[in-house]
Amino acid sequence: MTRFRLTVEYDGRHFVGWQRQDNGMSVQQALEEAIFKFCGENAAVQGAGRTDAGVHALGQVAHVDIDKPSVGDTVRDAINFHLRPWPVAVLTAQAVGPQFHARFDAVARRYRYRIVNRRAPLALEQGRAWLVNLPLDADVMHEAAQRLVGQHDFSSFRAAMCQAKSPVKTLSSLNVARRGGDIEIDVEARSFLHNQVRIMVGTLKHVGEGRWTADDVSEALEAKDRAAAGVTAPPDGLYLMGVEYP
């Protein structure tokens, strides 16, 4: 048996999320079915992050154990062949030691949230970004975002159904930058609460519109109450960019 580390890219619009569910196709199920077609094994694919329905990935990491003697390139190409027509691609497949675990060994996860800030509707980016019509000030959004960096109780920024044992998380960085008509919000941490990134983005949108100040963000954080923070941004603009390991 060989354990393979997979780097996976997918368009989240077509899935109910990463994790298997009863209400539709998940990325995990698509991968496991493709692996079964390749080698006839009911192999469990373990992902580094359980992205929600509609959330995309450019660098999701997963691992899977396969009995069939294979090399990484063969595993990658075979899985990709059987994944069609699902919008999922295995970018790399690398043989690793049996002790490697995609989720528990991760030391950092990087997400990006994309906002298209313009009046016109989305023609090509529908489902891949959040369209915000009102002008946003990315500089003041970035300044306010720094209030959330570091270790905090993020109770105000977690979904009601969040199953994390503790609301305390440590953000390594949270940066906001305008690139033409796009605003990109990049965030890194070892782990996140359910919907934490999307709630932080929705809160920073209030700042960019001039409705909130950086002090309002601090007050929302200190309140430790979901009702104190901003809206939950839609999943469309959220991308899992990469996962770091020791």
Taking the domains of the chain in order of start, what are their residue ranges? 2-96, 108-244
So what CATH class is 2-96? alpha beta
Question: Of the listed 11, 22, 52, 73, which one is catalytic?
Answer: 52
Span 114-123, average pLDDT: 97
| pLDDT above 90 for 190 | yes
Give backbone dihedrals phi and psi of 132, rounded to 5 degrees, phi first.
Answer: -120, 120
Span 126-140, average pLDDT: 97
What letter would DSSP give residue 155?
A: G
Q: How many CB atoms lie within 10 A of CB 32?
A: 19
Residue 184 to residue 181: CA distance in whole angstroms = 10
Enumerate the H helices of the chain as residue ranges. 27-39, 72-83, 138-145, 196-208, 214-223
Span 83-107, average pLDDT: 97
pTM: 0.95
What confidence score (pLDDT) does residue 8 get?
Answer: 98
CB 130 within 8 A of CB 116: yes
Q: pLDDT tens for residues 5-17?
A: 999 999 999 999 9
Q: How many CB atoms lie within 10 A of CB 230?
A: 22
| pLDDT above 90 for 233 | yes
Residue 178 to residue 185: CA distance in whole angstroms = 9
Q: pLDDT tens for residues 153-185?
A: 999 999 988 989 999 999 999 999 999 999 999
What confidence score (pLDDT) does residue 22 get?
Answer: 87
CB 157 within 8 A of CB 128: no
Fold agreement between 2-96 and 108-244: yes
Task: Count how many Cα atoms sit within 13 Å of the Cα of residue 49 in the half-sphere of its side chain.
Answer: 35
| pLDDT above 90 for 202 | yes
Tokens standing for 150?
A: 């570091």
Pick the CATH number of 108-244 from 3.40.190.10, 3.30.70.660, 3.10.20.600, 3.40.50.10680: 3.30.70.660
**Cβ contacts of 179 within 8 Å, gap of 6 or more:** none
Residue 103 identity: R
What confidence score (pLDDT) does residue 163 get?
Answer: 87
Residue 39 to residue 156: CA distance in whole angstroms = 46
153 is catalytic: no
Residue 157 to residue 138: CA distance in whole angstroms = 20
Q: pLDDT tens for residues 41-91?
A: 999 999 999 999 999 999 999 999 999 999 999 999 999 999 999 999 999
* Sign, CA torsion 15/195/48/143: positive
